[in-house]
Amino acid sequence: MESTAKAVNAALDAAVPEKYPETLNEGMRYSLLAGGKRVRPALCLAAAEMVGGSAAAAMPTACAMEMIHTMSLIHDDLPAMDNDDFRRGRPTNHKVYGENMAILAGDAMLAYAFEHIARATQGVPADRVLRVIVELGRASGADGLVGGQVVDIQSEGKEGGGWRG
């Protein structure tokens, strides 16, 4: 697991481009490269290998999954959500870069996750890449991650007092 985490960290470091505005790039990298076990990418790579694929071909998707997860953490820490000041023993993104830049860093990371899959995936048929993009979009949108955040907010009584689904 440790060697997989190192490989994922190296791939994430290489994946985040320097082309974005400096503060935005710093904010993205601050949270994305903050460490962690990299369980989600490790599971993605292992699943690819279990069905006869290669970890190398799945690495862009594994990185994208971690980018989406990191975006969710950045947004979840915001004052409008859970209002956390620390994550993994470090000040949260909005405490370091401000709320506005944290929102933009999360938004940019979400968009870049999909761009990264489309641009960096090599040797995989286009229809499979498209299927991955569709599934990640579904899982990170209203039917998945965002919908779950709505349930979290409503169950805390911050807005309307409960799930109305």
Task: Convert the pLDDT of each residue in 38-52 to its tens digit.
Answer: 999 999 999 999 999
Residue 134, domain member (yes or no): no
DSSP SS3 for 38: coil
Residue 103: pLDDT above 50?
A: yes
Residue 26, domain member (yes or no): yes
The residues near 153 (Cβ < 8 Å, ≥ 6 apart) are: 81, 159
Residue 133, domain member (yes or no): no
Residue 94, domain member (yes or no): yes
Which among 71, 66, 47 has a CA at the least distance from the CA of 57?
47
Residue 107, domain member (yes or no): yes
Residue ranges making up the domain that contains 38: 2-125
Residue 141, domain member (yes or no): no
Which among 81, 107, 103, 84 has a CA at the least distance from the CA of 159?
81
CATH number at residue 10: 1.10.600.10
The total number of structural domains that make up the chain: 1
Mean pLDDT along residues 63-88: 96
Q: In angstroms, rounded to a whole number, what is the distance separating the alpha carbons of residues 22 and 16?
A: 12
Residue 97, domain member (yes or no): yes
Side chain identity at residue 157, one-letter code:
G
pTM: 0.91
Residue 114, domain member (yes or no): yes
